[in-house]
Amino acid sequence: MDREIFREAETKKLYNSIEKLKIGVIGIGEGVGTTFVSTSLAFCFAKKGKSVAFAEVGNPRTKLSILYDSVAMDLRFSNREFVDFYNLIMENLHIRGKKNIEEGINWALITPKNLENGKELDESEKLRLVNNLSGEIVIFDLEAFEAFGTLLEEMDIIVGVIDPLPSKMIGGFKIFQALKKLEIEGQKVIWVVNKNNKGIGKKHIYDYLKTREILWIPFFELEQMYLCEYNCIFPIKNKKLNCQIIEAFDRIIDKTGLFTKPSH
């Protein structure tokens, strides 16, 4: 497809931070908007002056579509090398210090070549990806199956994303149970309801999540997502969408406690 890229100039940030905060974003069920939430969070943290990395942690063999294509990374890196983190790890090569900087974020994405070779990272290889990316804050877009491995235990903060459609909540119940167990054991979990709208019964959501500490992202017109892909932009960069959702993402950022001013 013939698409054009319009983006802001890059700004220099420190990406070689040894200490990093790891935030795992995982969907409670399939197709709940995990990538939308995780990419938007990455941009919000970057806007606050932090060096941010974003990584997809999943199985290339099961991917029907990839973020690399939806935001036209091939065009964005037409005159630059795009580092294939998955391939480097599979070949047992170093990834520390490697970067794909675009719009102020270091991107470690599943690529079309990863889809072609059909290989997936084992648990130890995924841990290498999680622990060696460059950035002060690293956002991980985690596939749902990761809830049953050890990767979630590596996260400093977990963002659980839920679609309030009852069938989606039922389908994601095992993942919810795994996250709730981690929360009870002391891990910080932020519960986010995506696609909030007048048709949902909030009492059912509260009962399902067993908490009233819930953040809500408003429902928006699906056509805006199509506009984003045809114009090769991330949803948070869409001006109309940004106006609708930025307040919700500011609340998620506040919930992390990273920018809370100490009391005197």
C-beta separation of 259 from 48 below 8 A: yes
Exposed, middle or buried, 111 (CB in 10 Å: 0-12/13-18/19+)? buried
Q: 15-29, 62-76, 109-123: which range is least confident on average?
A: 15-29
Give the percent of the chain with pLDDT over 90: 76
- Give whole-number Cα distances, 134 to 89, 131, 191, in Å: 15, 9, 27
Res. 73 pLDDT band, cuts 50 70 90: very high
Mean of the per-residue pLDDT values for the chain? Answer: 90
Residue 64 has a pLDDT of 84
Predicted TM-score (pTM) of this structure: 0.91
Q: For 15-24, 92-101, 114-123, 195-204, which range has the lowest pLDDT when averaged over its residues? A: 15-24
Alpha-carbon span 104 to 124, nearest angstrom: 28
124/92 Cα distance (integer angstroms): 11
Taking only the tens place, the pLDDT of each residue in 207-230 is 999 999 999 999 998 899 999 999
Summarize pLDDT for 3-48 with one digit per residue, the tens: 555 555 555 555 555 568 999 999 998 889 999 999 999 999 999 9
* Confidence at residue 62, expressed as pLDDT on a 0 to 100 scale: 84
pLDDT, tens digit, for every residue of 160-216?
999 999 999 999 999 999 999 999 999 999 999 999 999 999 999 999 999 999 999
- Order the strands of the 188-196 sheet from edge to edge: 101-102, 105-108, 52-57, 137-142, 21-27, 157-162, 188-196, 214-218
**Joined tokens for residue 43:** 């941009």
Average pLDDT over residues 57-82: 92
CA-based nearest residue to 28, from 173, 133, 131? 173
Provide the 3-class DSSP secondary structure of residue 194.
strand
Helix (H) or strand (E) holding 78: none
Q: Give the per-residue pLDDT at 7.
A: 53
